[in-house]
Structure 1
Amino acid sequence: MAFRKAFVPLRTLNSLCRPKSFTQNISPQLPPLISSTRSFSSSPCRRIMEMSGFTESQLEVRDAIFKICANFPDDYWMEHDQTGEYPHELHAALSKDGWIGIALPEELGGAGLGIAEATMMLHTIAESGAGIAGAQSIHANVYATQPVAKFATPEQRQEFLPKLIKGEWRCCFGVTEPNTGLETLKLRAFAKKDGNTYTITGQKIWISSAQVAQKMILLARTTPLSSVSKPSAGLSLFFISLDKSHPGLTMQRIPKMGGRAIDANEIFFDNYPIPSSALIGKEGDGFKQILHGMNAERCLLAGEALGLGYAALGKAAKYARERVVFGRAIGMNQGIQHPLADAYMNLEAAKLATYHAAKLYDSSGKVGGPTQKEVGVAANSAKYLAAEAAFKSCERAVLAHGGMGYAQEYHVERYFRECLVPRIAPVSREMIMNYVAENALGLPRSY
């Protein structure tokens, strides 16, 4: 299928992403970023996007995802935010043509593209008006599967990943615990081996989509902290089933401020059994494995923050053009113009940092490519900058609307509630600054 009028399935896009195929198959009249069924006034024009250094595959991902998201208007997301209902329809639409497998191997049904394309996908979902909630509906399925794809056996990959790509399964990521927070190396959830079975005991918290997930990628301790030579040892990664009928598994939904369409949960394991075949890679290598997914998540969340910021800014600019006070559009006033222009420039700078980090991630592991530390500095910096830029845009969008910014019908209050997520999760601003100070500037460790 050529890129003309219709939405392009990802499996078709994958075959076109190679340079030779692109020149043969892409129509010279590429579809505009403005959907015919919905106006995405917040979208930067395609020419600006092209001048940002994006590849043709990234731009085609953007076009195709906007077309899907045109079927999910602002009122859809407002309703799901109010009811807390998971956006099953969006998940189904994205999985129908393989988008959930955008960064997973081709032989498993994925596209074999990079985190740069995946970042563009989540950026675009958020920018469409779906915000953080829309992006988070597939967030874990994109990044948490990266360690599985890299470290699992061929048999495990064939068993675990195709159904996730097809949308038959959803997965969540189980790392954070209530008593350890950012101290990942001090996790207490324990997987005890007995023959061909592990039993898990412990707690996890802030686990998104667990209510609708059939699977979890779980980090648990397999050797007591007191028995390891260094804190990063003794942690193991598992791909487990969530049998919600089992008495050893209990989950409790956490009421929260924003992104309410995506459930967040506290999960309790009490001698919950899993087969030993659920172990990914070697026992004790779990922390090294999840680092592969953590840098990917930083890039993806940066993209989501960007999308949210651009969506808010687009709403604010539209309102400022149309709202008349004292006989003139409020957008004529520099008191409105300058804060919005400043927010735009911050988003543009964060955008460059985000896709630079994604490019580094995709080139790591290659001869002469960046080290994991270099990728980590770039990915953490991008997440920080994008989160701050999104916060500025969302706050100023509310203020530009005046009193109507507080009204649900204008949607910017929803964006503002959601923009706090990238500032907090999965790592705080302060910990990012600690990391950058130590690893980019060579300063002594502060914690």
Structure 2
Amino acid sequence: MYQNRTDDFQDIRDAVRALCAEFPDSYHREIDEARAYPEAFVDALTRAGWMAALIPEAYGGSGLGLGEASIIMEEINRAGGNSGACHGQMYNMNTLVRHGSEEQKQRILPKLASGELRLQSMGVTEPTTGTDTTRIRTTAVRKGDRYVVNGQKVWISRVQHSDLMILLARTTPLAEVKKKSEGLSIFLVDIKAAMAGGMTVQPIRNMVNHETNELFFENLEIPAENLIGEEGQGFKYILTGLNAERTLIAAECIGDGYWFTDRVTAYVSEREVFGRPIGQNQGVQFPIAEAYIEIEAANLMREKACRLYDAGAPCGAEANMAKYLAAKASWEAANACLQFHGGFGFAAEYDVERKFRETRLYQVAPISTNLILSYVAEHVLGLPRSF
């Protein structure tokens, strides 16, 4: 279990770095250019057991904590990869581990650990509600031993490369609940079965090689046994996954930040203009140094969020702040790296432009920086709710 600084887990870092070294920049560059999914890379992570890090040993996993899982994600990004292809299974499985029934865990978790199944997708966001999750319109109505789902989701990632999806739907109309966070439930959805009848998948092309989709549900039937936890309590359960998601993505941004500072530091130390290395100029040094300082600070908040999460303590504020700090730091490091590479920063062969696009996403998703500021203002500082 995660106890100390993430730097204490050097054995995990070394092992993940060794695996990532088998997939150099050229591999990730080719995947990006082809708009493909890194199947070989994700399969290698799975065979090595890294994708089963959070699954308890009783179900075939490693029984590690979020702290260790965050190191895995960080090292993938620091090595030049993109954890966005596989991080969903990490935070989605935690919802199942913490709130699923014993039957569900026995049925699903060993297959996730072995790689027989993938749980890479979470269906929450909708076109008309965005991050106002409690007002989602997708409904699930109980009819006998099944729930019938109707509605729409958007920006749902990795559906085409996953076997299962966690779906949030309203089971009690909003007008009939005392609190708008009540009456929401979560389900395990068999994606292949859903696509065979009731769910339509429409891919969304975007600036990052990130497989994401719009989903349409028309009388999709889900077995009642696939309800996770108690009906109507889904919003509370989904927060387990969301806090893990934000903390893991903070780790990925930290990995990106170190990648950018490593690359730009090496480049400006060698690149000579007007007879001397450009890294000798304070106008070059200071933005890089500032980004590095902020990455280190974000790392500390990531560690605190992991420590609280693994202890089962409330960590919403820390998870949000870690994500905010890390996304901001990685974006500033990205800007410095691109700027000081000059024209070469835009050349695909240097990989800077690819990583630049990838890390920019996290200013917006999975929760925007503005929503994090609103959360802290209301829930930490006690200011009046702004929306």
The total of aligned residue pairs comes to 385
CA contact (8 A) 1:218 1:240 kept: yes
Question: 1:78 matched to which residue of 2?
Answer: 29
Task: Find the residue that maps to 2:140 and give its secondary structure.
Answer: strand
TM-score normalised by L of structure 2: 0.96
Q: Any stretches of 5+ residues in structure 1 without a counterpart?
A: 1-16, 20-51, 365-369
Whether 1:161 and 2:109 are equivalent positions in the alignment is yes
TM-aligned CA distance change 1:245 to 1:302, over 3 Å: closer
Task: Find the residue that maps to 1:129 and give its secondary structure.
Answer: coil
Question: 1:14 matched to which residue of 2?
Answer: none
CA distance in 2: counterparts of 1:423 and 1:109, whole angstroms: 35
CA distance in 1: counterparts of 2:93 and 2:162, whole angstroms: 14
Question: Which deviations, in whole Å up to 9, do the C-alpha atoms of 1:96-143 show, x marking residues without a partner?
Answer: 13211111211011111111111111011111000xxx2112211000
Stretch deviating more after TM superposition (309-318 or 239-248): 239-248
Match of 1:124 among 44, 50, 75: 75
Question: 1:248 matched to which residue of 2?
Answer: 198
Question: 2:181 matched to which residue of 1?
Answer: 232
CA contact (8 A) 2:152 2:214 kept: yes
Question: 1:319 matched to which residue of 2?
Answer: 267
* 1:8-407 alignment runs, 5 A limit: 53-54=5-6, 56=8, 58-130=9-81, 134-171=82-119, 172-243=121-192, 245-258=195-208, 260=209, 262-364=210-312, 370=313, 372=314, 375-407=315-347
Match of 2:357 among 395, 398, 417: 417
Task: Find the residue that maps to 2:160 and give its secondary structure.
Answer: coil
The residue identity in structure 2 corresponding to 1:54 is T
Measured after TM superposition, the shift of residue 18 of structure 1 is: 10
CA contact (8 A) 2:129 2:135 kept: yes
Q: Any stretches of 5+ residues in structure 2 without a counterpart?
A: none
Task: Find the residue that maps to 2:141 and give its secondary structure.
Answer: strand
CA contact (8 A) 1:249 1:270 kept: yes
CA contact (8 A) 1:91 1:167 kept: no
Measured after TM superposition, the shift of residue 55 of structure 1 is: 6.1
CA RMSD in angstroms, aligned pairs only: 1.6
Question: Which deviations, in whole Å up to 9, do the C-alpha atoms of 1:337-367 show, x marking residues without a partner?
Answer: 1111111111111111111111111112xxx
Measured after TM superposition, the shift of residue 298 of structure 1 is: 1.2
